[in-house]
Chains A and B, each alone.
Chain A
């Protein structure tokens, strides 16, 4: 924590915060004021942060948008009143909504399609035009070293994802994930793994020639009062086509979020229990997962002590 006087306080931009590849989420300076002194403290950038709820005193529409809304709304109301009946009244209602949007300068739809502060910072850092970011956290009752070692091995993670069939290590840092997709399609994705950071961070990014750009991070920290290890997983995907692409990615991210929840739960179960909980009656659907080690001079990923426990497959 750094203490400064009021005269030295200024707003600090994202770049100046030192937001970069090595520390996501970074600590972003937060300015707090009290009656005696100005205190600059630090708090983590939350993936969950969103654009503020717009109000007439803090509108989220610009003047051109407001003018267009007002004009369109007025026209719709006038036309609706002229036509009347079942055809006219919906126009009147729609026009009233548009006119209110223009008058108040607030739009919830625009807010929903506004990239979060975390996404905006991420896009600026990666030079992406758009991104959709999801995050999940979990606490695992095992030491950080053990959890980190387990998660460092893609073979351990792949075995816990029900639709991943195979992971092949194609070079020292590159892994090809093969999964079965909808309509019996096989999906492949090459993912590069960054150097692990001191038992605190794992980072994977989609290979440069990948069709879908992804950035996946896992941050490891010690949970308070000896509760084990906290993992914060952040998954970002690049979006295109502006707001429409963002809306589509947001819809798909509902499923990705569920998958991330299931994966983190499975990691927790595997590490805490040595098995993954299942509700199946019989074993006929047991997953046949394959982890292919490199045939050439590639370095094999470290194998954790925990991975010696047979992995029995993902949750049903």
Chain B
């Protein structure tokens, strides 16, 4: 089969690799119909996430058709149109039983790297480095999905492929961010980052009762989408002082809930960004914390900061004093999408949510290297390039 493989930092290549096969009774093989780029892939691409190996197939946000199932699979059969949650749960461990699928104990076959880094092994993630399991990704003709009864979801009637593909990751991540923020009716929510996840977080915040959402980014076309498609108030951090603007918009209180949809490669205009960038280049720390610092500083006293932007390691100058002295709640995690998929499909079916506009650049898998370049450089107004394997 053909697949997009990582060959080194900022080096991708489409090549022919072995087809996957059923290895465990609870596996399924899915023929990939649509597979999207994701902002978190850029961390892999840039070499910021260690334990990548040359030849690794990347991609984790996809939908397709079941072509083969293991002997223990009961809920799916050949021909089913499905979407897969990219964070793998086993469905049986203590955490999965609590619906904390992204804390799964059993889905990572390489537990030692994250055991050392984080204290306990993290879950497995499709196409997301060997520290998170070393699973082959979805930018390929076929993919093996472990624990298929837990991680596959049938796409209901009335939901198009272009809508369903984002229920794999961008939509549940955004929804999880808003859910984690503990939004109360009438709240003002600030969302940093207007990529796919950020836009879905804005829409989700409204679905969960927010009165208004303030979106922060620097790309005019993304801010326009935040306003037109998601109904947010847009702030361009290159043309305004974000902290002052947020206080001005909230009567000096600050947003009730702040959501970080940016993560470890945050961009900024202040001195802390250049400090972070320098230390990151010197490999003295791994994260750029501009957004995290801004959100913690801006959040109203007693508010909640929800983090779904990807952070991998260590961050310097973390404002712990503000968290303690403003009584903030900090919540985070990889998305446990299995918890939300059915609810999200219902929102889509009712017309309350339509993620299909994220798909700005459909293309074939053979053009995926160009697709990633466009997505990374944010040229041609690329919000998401989505590949259709031939």
Q: Which positions in A face B, CB cutoff 8 Å?
A: 139, 141, 227-228, 258, 261-262, 265, 268-269, 272-283, 312, 315-316
On whether the beta carbons of B20 and A277 are closer than 8 Å, the reply is: no
Docked pose: A265 CA to B123 CA in angstroms: 12
Query: Which residues from chain B sit less than 8 Å from chain A, CB to CB?
Result: 17-21, 23-26, 72, 90, 92-94, 97, 105-112, 115, 121, 124, 130, 133-136, 144, 146-147
Chain A hits for B112, CB < 8 A? 258, 261-262
Extra contacts besides A141-B93, A277-B90 (18): CB < 8 Å: A141-B94, A227-B94, A261-B112, A265-B105, A265-B106, A265-B121, A272-B90, A272-B92, A273-B92, A273-B147, A274-B72, A277-B146, A278-B146, A281-B20, A281-B136, A282-B19, A282-B23, A316-B134
Contacts of B21 in A (CB 8 A): 281-283
Residues of A within 8 A of B147 (CB): 273
Residue pair A316, B20 in contact (C-beta under 8 Å): no
In the bound complex, CA of A217 to CA of B72 (Å): 34
> Is the beta-carbon distance between B144 and A261 smaller than 8 angstroms?
no
Q: Residue on B with the closest CB to A136?
A: B115
A315-B110 in contact (CB<8A): yes
A269, B109: Cα distance in complex, Å: 10
**For residue B70, which residue of chain A has the nearest CB?**
A275
Query: In the bound complex, how far is the Cα of B111 from the Cα of A278, in angstroms?
Result: 11
| Bound Cα distance from A302 to B17, whole angstroms | 44
Task: Tell me whether A274 and B111 are in contact in the complex, defined as CB-CB below 8 angstroms, given that A139-B94, A281-B20, A316-B134 are known contacts.
Answer: no
Is B115 a contact of A261 with CB atoms below 8 Å? yes
- 28 pairs from A and B in contact (CB 8 Å cutoff): A141-B93, A141-B97, A258-B112, A261-B112, A262-B112, A265-B106, A265-B111, A265-B121, A268-B106, A269-B90, A269-B106, A272-B90, A272-B93, A273-B92, A275-B25, A275-B26, A276-B109, A277-B109, A277-B124, A277-B146, A279-B135, A279-B136, A281-B18, A281-B20, A282-B20, A282-B21, A312-B24, A316-B134
Known: A141-B94, A265-B121, A315-B110. A278 touches B23 (CB 8 A): yes
Q: For the complex, what is the distance from the CA of A281 to the CA of B97, rounded to whole Å? A: 28
Q: Report the minimum CB–CB distance from A162 to chain B (whole Å).
A: 11
If A139-B94, A265-B121 touch, whether A315 touches B105 (CB-CB below 8 Å) is no
The CA-CA distance from A237 to B36 in the complex, in Å, is 50
Contacts of A315 in B (CB 8 A): 109-110
- Docked pose: A1 CA to B43 CA in angstroms: 54
Residues of the B chain whose Cβ atoms lie less than 8 Å from the Cβ of A228: 94
Say yes or no: A278 contacts B136, CB within 8 Å.
Answer: no
Among B19, B94, B107, B115, the residue within 8 A (CB) of A277 is B107
Chain B interface helix/strand/loop/mixed: loop
Q: Of all chain A residues, which has the CB nearest B1?
A: A281
Q: Provide the residues of chain B in CB contact with A277, threshold 8 Å.
A: 24, 90, 106-109, 124, 133, 146
CB distance from A280 to the nearest CB of B (A): 6
Docked CA distance A312–B105 (Å): 19
Answer whether A279 and B110 are a contact pair too, CB < 8 Å, given A261-B115, A268-B105.
yes
A276 to B19 CA separation, bound complex (whole angstroms):
21
Which 4 residue pairs of A and B lie closest in terms of their CB atoms, listed nearest first? A315-B109, A279-B134, A275-B24, A277-B109
A279 to B106, alpha carbons, bound, how many Å? 12
Q: Assess the A274–B25 pair: CB atoms within 8 A.
A: yes
Shortest C-beta distance, A102 to chain B (Å), equals 34
Nearest Cβ on chain B to A14's Cβ, whole angstroms: 31
Please, which residue of chain B has its CB at the minimum distance from the CB of A275? B24
Task: Tell me which residues across on chain B come within 8 A of A261, comparing CB atoms.
Answer: 111-112, 115, 121
CB–CB A278/B24 < 8 A: yes
Assembly CA distance A125 to B174 (angstroms): 57
With a cutoff of 8 Å between Cβ atoms, the chain B residues found around residue A281 in the complex are 17-21, 136, 144
Bound: A279/B97 CA distance, A: 23
**Complex: chain B residue closest to A223, CB-CB:** B94
- Closest residue of chain A to B105 (Cβ to Cβ) is A268
* Distance in angstroms between the alpha carbons of A280 and B130 in the assembled complex: 12
Q: Give, as a whole number of angstroms, the nearest-CB distance from B41 to chain A.
A: 18
Q: Which residues does chain A contribute within 8 Å of B23, judged by CB atoms?
A: 278, 280, 282-283, 312
Interface centre among B24, B110, B115 (most CB of A within 10 A): B24
| Separation of A151 and B293 alpha carbons in the complex (Å) | 49
Q: Which residue of B lies closest to A265 (CB)?
A: B111
Distance of A45 Cα from B135 Cα, bound (Å): 39
Chain A residues, Cβ within 8 Å of B93: 141, 268, 272
Give the chain A neighbours of B19 by CB distance below 8 A: 281-282
Residues of A within 8 A of B130 (CB): 279
What residues on A are CB-neighbors of B92 within 8 Å?
141, 272-273
